[in-house]
Amino acid sequence: MVGTEDGLFILKHNDTKFTNASDIINKNQAKTVLSLLEDKEGNIWIGTYGQGIIIYNPKTKTTKKTLSDNSKIGTITKLIQDKNGTVWAGTFDAGLFAINPNTLDYKQFNESNGLTSNTVYCIFENKEDNTIWVGTLNGGLCILNFVNSIDRPLVSVFKHLENKNSISSNSINNIYKDKKGNLLVRDKQWLK
Which residues does residue 136 pair with via DSSP β-bridges, in sequence order?
A: 120
What is the pLDDT at residue 163? Answer: 64
Check: pTM over 0.75? Answer yes or no. yes
Measure the CA dihedral 132/133/139/140, to 10°.
Answer: 160
| pLDDT at site 149 | 67
191, pLDDT greater than 50: no
Strands (E), 92-149: 96-99, 106-109, 120-126, 131-136, 141-145
| C-alpha closest to that of 91 among 27, 127, 134 | 134
The answer to whether residues 97 and 109 touch, using CB atoms and an 8 Å cutoff, is yes
Average pLDDT estimate for 7-32: 86
Q: What is the mean pLDDT of the chain?
A: 87
CATH number for the domain formed by residue range(s) 2-187? 2.130.10.10
The span from the CA of 108 to the CA of 114, in Å, is: 11
Higher pLDDT, 176 or 38: 38
Q: What is the pLDDT of residues 143-169, one digit of tens each?
A: 889 877 667 778 777 777 666 677 777
Domain boundaries of the chain, sorted by first residue: 2-187
**Mean pLDDT value across residues 118-140:** 91
pLDDT in tens, 55-77: 999 999 999 999 887 666 879 99
pLDDT, position 139: 87
Would you place residue 172 in the very low, low, confident or very high pLDDT band (cuts 50, 70, 90)? confident
